[in-house]
Chains A and B, each alone.
Chain A
Amino acid sequence: MRTSRTLGMVMIAPAAIMIFLFYLMPVVLTAIFAMTNMSTATGISGGAWQVTASAVNRLKTTLPELANGIAEPRFVIDEDGLKELEALKLKPGFATELRAQHIGGVYPSRREAERDIKALKDRPNTREVKQISDIFNRSVLNTRFESRDALMTSLDKLGFKLTPEQQQIVSDATYTGWVWTSENFSTIANSPDMLQILINTGIYVAVTLTLFNVTYALFLAVTTHYMPSNTASVFRAIWLLPRITPVVIYILLWKWMTWDNGFISLFLAQFGVPPKNYLLDSAYNAWFFVILINGFIGASMGMLVFSSAIKAIPQTQFHASEVDGASRWQQIRYIILPQLRWPILFVTCYQTLSLLASFQEIHLSTRGGPGKSTEVWSLAAFHTALNNYTGNLEYGLGAAMALVLVVVGLVLSLIYLRVFRYDTLISKPLIED
């Protein structure tokens, strides 16, 4: 038996279970939710069948006659109504005569029903006519049915004879719960808002990643590499602050700096510049700060990864390259950078995904504003599904947006692996099983 392989499985099992529960399951659930139209309106459990005004509107295109009929009140002389009438203890003749003469009678309007009631031999007065006709009102408008059959039975009693296909149409139109649908994706594909958010996200990720998370991090790592170790430690520690400061406090510091009575405004006031909120006064400024806020956090991570990778290059290679005549710049270009390919791939990949997925910094600083100018995909998904100004939380649509994010992340990772030629970076395991 290949014991090492079995042992490997045993050792990886806890991690595998965690990955399944906390990474795979959320993705699967997101995919499931994405295929529904769940929202605050539909709820997440089952629904009921209700002929609302909007349901009638929906029916008007396919079944106009039925829609008009359903919207009107309907009066039916049935046994249930007669029993109720008897219980009212009005003149017993009313019920007797209605049962004898009109049982099963269906009136499309109150006027017609009341004409027959007025004609009863016991002559009900106007108030009684109203009372009696109300009892026989069998309108389905705004009535809630707990099951589809109840709705259909009721419609049948009212004289709407429906084919099974028509029944299905009515059922779909009146159902208030969530249903399976792929509409979320067509909504995403066709909405100009979504396109704008996608463009925002692309710019945000690309600019932050290239300027800060990789380039600036590389710059920090290389410059601190050439510094005396104590100085380098101080610089690295300073650049770690944005990452180790709790994010709420970190953002608050930025707000203090950019508010209309914040540091920038106070400073510029010395030169007669009127104060303003630099964070939110224009889309350009909002983007400027959003990218700085995220970039400062991202740069430290890249700096640490790149610094340790540079440290791992044997000192003699630097000595050798100096002796070979390489300048500092040539050392960076020919010795350091080529050996940082794997860390750069890792940081690019990791930071793309974390920039795509994380929205807390934007949510805390600009909330996607001003307007929706700094709204990025993950923030939009959060707003759609979980935190919405209008109050109708569209879980299904939000889940669909999140799923798009997962797919984009996966595709990007695969592209990175190809671009950086991952297969050449990994070596075969030294231990054979």
Chain B
Amino acid sequence: MRILLDKFSKSFGTTSVIEDMNLEVGSGEMLALLGPSGCGKSTTLFAICGIHRPTAGRILFGDRDVTNLPSQERNVGVVFQSYALYPHMTVEENIGFPLTVRRVAASDIKKQVAGIAALVHIDNLLDRKPSQLSGGQQQRVALARALIRRPDVLLLDEPLANLDAKLRLEMRSEIRRLQKETGITAILVTHDQVEAMSMCDRIAIMKSGEIVQVATPSQMYQDPRTAFVAGFLGNPPISFLKGKAAHGAFVSTDGKLQMTLPALSGIADGTALTLGIRPEHFGTAGNVPVEGKVTFAETQGRENLYDVVLPDGSVIRSIQPVRDDVTLGDQVRWGIDSKSAFVFAEDGTRL
């Protein structure tokens, strides 16, 4: 089911958190609300599920206006960051709770719980209490509880934040699998760009209550609209160099680096600019040579990671296939792939 936020605003008392936000999530789509903490993404999620009421604007599920409906009547499933399992109920009772409150017959509940528990692989834990489960198991219970009554919308509030690295990886694909299998419209709130990129069809990146860009993960990675988006996506993160425009080229502060970029053709000379270079676009293959000193070197097994300090003090990160001829303190001369470099204006917008 399609979800539409139309000029949605939310404020708490005098503090305005979100203003005039527009967002559409297509039916069956999984969308990530990505942003740093405090940017309003959980507030948006809580408004969609009805825990918070919008201050202004509309929320539509399909064509149905749910703006003023209480959560009970919205048919949404939510997985909370803390899972919010009921500690006094067994796993079975927890998962069956949405059906219990709808007075579904006990035998039906049992059947449905068994089905959904098998789907999330916890059918052997039904008699346990939440306190007897590991984090990953609790997460699955929360997911099963959110899914059991076949919600129109599945909302996930940082569902993987409390899991260890390995489990996080596992649950990432698990959630995606379930979402695809059930064909449910889902919104994932996260501050982890890897999670957002790996799990979702599209990402809406948020900054202080506003959506900066909505795009598919690869589009957003390759074509970020602002420096914030470019900086938020990618691991290891993008490096930024300060400079100025001069004759359709980017010139670094000390003038040693010059790079002609088609995006700068109409820009007045002397405009302050920021150049963004992803680590994979700085290395031996680049066409614009840069000289610097290696101040950090780390191997990640398949790849090596380097920090190169330029003479003016700025740092460019580089990621390259494993090599052992470069060590800490070496002077290197590597190239930047100018076609893949991003250039941003002073206010952060991409040129």
Q: Give A contacts to B, CB under 8 Å.
A: 314, 316-317, 319-327, 330, 334-335, 338-339, 341
In the complex where A322-B51, A323-B71, A325-B72 touch, is A330 in contact with B101 (Cβ < 8 A)?
yes
With A316-B84, A317-B86, A338-B88 already in contact, the answer to whether A326 and B49 are too (CB < 8 A) is no
Chain B CB count within 10 A is highest, among A314, A316, A324, A339, for: A324
The distance from the CB of A339 to the nearest CB of chain B, in whole angstroms, is: 6
With beta carbons under 8 angstroms apart, the residue of A316, A322, A334, A341 that contacts B50 is: A322
Residue in A closest to B87 when the chains form the complex, CB atoms: A339
Task: State whether A322 touches B101 (Cβ < 8 A).
Answer: no
24 contacts across the A-B interface (CB closer than 8 A): A314-B84, A317-B84, A317-B86, A319-B46, A319-B80, A320-B78, A320-B86, A321-B86, A321-B97, A322-B50, A322-B51, A322-B71, A323-B71, A323-B78, A324-B97, A324-B145, A325-B72, A325-B101, A327-B101, A330-B101, A334-B97, A335-B86, A338-B88, A339-B87
Nearest-CB residue, chain B, relative to A427: B131
Question: Are B97 and A316 interface neighbours, CB within 8 A?
Answer: no
Instruction: Tell me the smallest distance from the CB of B252 to a CB of chain A, in Å.
Output: 50
Are B101 and A339 touching (Cβ within 8 A)?
no
Instruction: Kindly identify which residue among A320, A325, A334, A338 contacts B149, using a CB–CB cutoff of 8 Å.
Output: A325
Instruction: Contacts A314-B82, A316-B80, A334-B101 given; indicate if A323 touches B50 (C-beta within 8 A).
Output: yes
CB atoms of B76 and A323 under 8 A apart: yes
| B136 CB within 8 Å of chain A | no
Q: Min CB distance, B72 to chain A, in Å?
A: 5
Contacts of B100 in A (CB 8 A): 334
Chain A residues positioned under 8 Å from B70 (CB to CB): 322
B101 surroundings in chain A (CB, below 8 A): 321, 324-327, 330, 334
Q: Is the CB of A323 within 8 A of B82?
A: no
Among candidates A320, A327, A330, A334, residue contacting B84 with C-beta atoms closer than 8 Å: A320
Residues of chain A contacted by B89 (CB below 8 angstroms): 334, 338
Asked if A323 meets B49 with Cβ closer than 8 Å, knowing A316-B84, A339-B88, the reply is yes
Distance, CA A320 to CA B49, complexed state (A): 10
| Across-interface contacts of B82 in A (CB, < 8 A) | 314, 316
Q: Which residues of A contact B78 (CB under 8 A)?
A: 319-320, 323
Cβ of B217 under 8 Å from chain A: no
Contact A323 B77, CB 8 Å, known A334-B97, A334-B100, A334-B101:
yes
Cα distance, A317 to B89, chains bound together (Å) = 12
Chain B's interface size range is 20 to 34
Q: B72 touching A326 by the CB < 8 A rule? A: yes
Task: Confirm or deny: B98 has a beta carbon within 8 angstroms of a beta carbon on chain A.
Answer: yes
Count A-B pairs with CB separation below 8 Å. 62
Q: Is B102 an interface residue (CB 8 A)?
A: yes
Q: How many angstroms from the CA of A339 to the CA of B85 in the assembled complex?
A: 13
Q: Given A314-B84, A335-B86, A339-B87, check contact A319 B97 (CB 8 Å).
A: no
Closest to A320 in B: B84
- Give B103 Cβ to nearest chain A Cβ, in Å: 10
Which secondary structure dominates where chain A touches chain B? helix
Q: Can you name the residue of chain A whose Cβ is closest to the Cβ of B100?
A: A334
Alpha-carbon separation in the docked complex, A334 to B46 (Å): 22
Choose among A320, A327, A334, A341 the residue with the greatest number of B CB atoms under 10 Å from its CB. Answer: A320
Q: Which residues of A contact B98 (CB under 8 A)?
A: 324-325
Q: Which are the 6 A-B pairs with shortest beta-carbon distances?
A: A320-B84, A316-B84, A324-B98, A322-B71, A326-B101, A338-B88
Give min CB distance, A295 to chain B, whole Å.
Answer: 29
Interface string of B64-101 (1 = CB under 8 A from A): 00000011101011101010101111000000011011
CA distance A341 to B87 in the complex (A): 13
How distant is the Cα of A341 from the Cα of B89 in the complex, in angstroms?
13
Given known contacts A316-B82, A319-B84, what 12 new A-B pairs fall within 8 Å (CB)? Answer: A320-B80, A320-B84, A320-B145, A321-B101, A322-B50, A322-B71, A323-B49, A324-B97, A324-B98, A334-B86, A334-B97, A334-B100
CA gap between A325 and B71 in the complex, in Å: 7
Give the complex CA separation of A317 and B70 in angstroms: 16
List residues of chain B with CB within 8 A of the CB of A314.
Answer: 82, 84
Contact residues in B for A326 (Cβ distance below 8 Å): 72, 97, 101
Residues in A with CB closer than 8 Å to B50 are: 322-323
Q: State in angstroms the CA–CA spacing of A322 and B80 once bound together.
A: 13
Q: Smallest Cβ distance from B247 to chain A, in angstroms? A: 58
Q: Which residues of A contact B88 (CB under 8 A)?
A: 338-339, 341
Which residues of A are found within 8 Å of B72, using beta-carbon distances? 322, 325-327
How far is B51's CA from A317's CA once the two chains are assembled, in angstroms? Answer: 12
Nearest-CB residue, chain A, relative to B74: A323
Which residue on chain B has the smallest CB distance to residue A339?
Answer: B88
Minimum CB distance partner of A338 in chain B: B88
Provide the residues of chain A in CB contact with B87, threshold 8 Å. Answer: 339
A325 to B97 Cα, complex, angstroms: 9
Contacts of A330 in B (CB 8 A): 101
List the B residue with the shortest CB-CB distance to A322.
B71
Contacts of B77 in A (CB 8 A): 323
- State in angstroms the CA–CA spacing of A335 and B94 once bound together: 11
CB distance from B248 to the nearest CB of A (A): 55
Considering only CB atoms, which chain A residue lies closest to B49 in the complex? A323
CB neighbours (8 Å) of B149 from chain A are: 324-325
Per the bound structure, the CA–CA distance linking A29 and B104 in Å amounts to 61
Q: What is the bound-complex CA distance between A317 and B84, given in angstroms?
A: 5
Minimum C-beta distance from A63 to chain B (A) = 72
CB-nearest residue of chain A to B88: A338
A338 CA / B49 CA spacing, docked (Å): 25
Enumerate chain B residues within 8 angstroms of A321, measured Cβ to Cβ.
Answer: 86, 97, 101
Looking at the assembled complex, report how far the CB atom of B152 sits from the nearest CB atom of chain A, in whole angstroms: 12
CA A325 to CA B76, docked complex, whole Å? 9
Q: Please give me the residue from chain A that is nearest to B82 by CB atom.
A: A316
Q: How far is the CB of B117 from chain A (nearest CB, A)?
A: 16
Q: Using Cβ atoms and an 8 Å threshold, which residues of chain B touch A320?
A: 78, 80, 84, 86, 145
- Distance (whole angstroms) from the CB of A123 to the closest CB of chain B: 108
- Which residues of A lie under 8 Å from residue B46 when comparing CB positions? 319
Residues in B with CB closer than 8 Å to A335 are 86
Contacts of A325 in B (CB 8 A): 71-72, 98, 101-102, 149
CA distance A295 to B46 in the complex (A): 41
Cα-based distance from A381 to B80 in the complex (angstroms): 58
- Measured CA separation A388–B101 after assembly (Å): 59
Once bound together, how far apart are the Cα atoms of A323 and B71, in whole Å? 5
B69 to chain A, nearest CB (A): 12
Cα-based distance from A324 to B88 in the complex (angstroms):
16
CA distance A339 to B78 in the complex (A): 22
Using Cβ atoms and an 8 Å threshold, which residues of chain B touch A323?
A: 49-51, 71, 74, 76-78
Return the chain A residue nearest B79 by Cβ.
A320
Q: Which residues of A contact B76 (CB under 8 A)?
A: 323
Residues of the B chain whose Cβ atoms lie less than 8 Å from the Cβ of A339: 87-88
Determine the chain B residues whose CB is within 8 A of the CB of A316 once the complex forms: 80, 82, 84
Which chain A residue has the least Cβ–Cβ distance from B98?
Answer: A324
How far is it, in angstroms, between the C-alpha of A334 and the C-alpha of B100 when the chains are bound? 10
User: Per-residue CB proximity of B36-48 to A under 8 Å, as 1/0?
Assistant: 0000000000100
Closest to A317 in B: B84
Name the CB-closest residue of A to B70.
Answer: A322
